[in-house]
Structure 1
Amino acid sequence: MSIEIVAKALKELGHPTRLAVYKQVMKAGPKGVAVGKLGDNIGIPNSTLSHHISSMITAGLITQHREGRVLYCIANYEMRENVLNFLQQECCIDSTF
C-alpha cells in the first residue's frame, strides 16, 4: 500500500465528524448501517453527513449499497487492516534496545 493512500485515509479520519461516522460504521459490522440511522446517532444533518461519507468513500474506508429505499454504509475492513499494517510493518525495526 502506498504512503499516499494511507495518508488520504488518515486525513479523512482526522476530522472529528468523519471519525465518529467511521466508528459507527465499524460497529455495525459487515451488514452496515443505514445512512439515516447514522445521521440520527451522530446528530448531524443528512446533507452534512453525505459530504463526510463521500470523502470516506473516496479514501476507500467505506462503501455503500442500496436495499430498496435504504442506503447502507459498510466499513471496508480490508482497507482498515491495510492502513494498520502499514503503520506497524516497520515498528521498532531500527531499535537498538
Structure 2
Amino acid sequence: MLLPEAVEALSALAHGHRLAVFRLLVRAGAGGLPAGEIAREVGVLPNTLSTHLTILGHAGLIRSRREGRSVIYSADYGGMGDLLGFLVADCCAGRPEICAPLVEAAQGCCPSA
C-alpha cells in the first residue's frame, strides 16, 4: 500500500459512524450484512449510510455484492490487512520487541475472506 491509499483509508475511518460501520462489518465476517441492518445497528439514516458505505468502499475497506434485491456489505480483509501492514511496516527498526505486542494482538483476528 502506498501513502495516498493509506491516507484515504485512514481518512475514511476518521469518522465515528464510518468507523462503527467498519467495525460492525469486521465482526460480521465474510457473510456481511444488508444495508438496512447496518443502518439500524449504527443508528444512521439510510441515505447517510449510503454515503459512508461509498467512502469506505472507495478506500478499499469494504465490499458489496447483490443478493436478490438486497445489497450485502462485508469488510474487505485484504484491504484491512494492507492498511495494517502499511502502519507497521517500519515499526521494528531492528528491534522486534517493539512490534511483538502488535503481532500478538493481530494473530487470529481476521477470518479468511
Q: TM-score, normalised by structure 1?
A: 0.93
Q: Deviations over 1:43-89 (max 9, x none)?
A: 11000000000001111110100101111101110111111111111
Determine helix, strand or coil for the equivalent of 1:90: coil
Equivalent residue number for residue 79 of structure 2? 79
Distance in 2, Cα, partners of 1:28 & 1:93: 35
Equivalent residue number for residue 92 of structure 1? 92
TM-aligned CA deviation for residue 92 of structure 1 = 3.5
TM-aligned CA deviation for residue 94 of structure 1 = 7.0
Please identify runs of 4+ aligned residues in structure 1 that moved more than 4 A.
Answer: none
Superposed counterparts of 1:1-97, under 5 Å: 1-93=1-93
Total equivalences in the alignment = 95
| Structure 2: gaps (5+ residues) | 96-113
The residue type paired with residue 5 of structure 1 is E
Percent identical? 35
Q: TM-score, normalised by structure 2?
A: 0.80
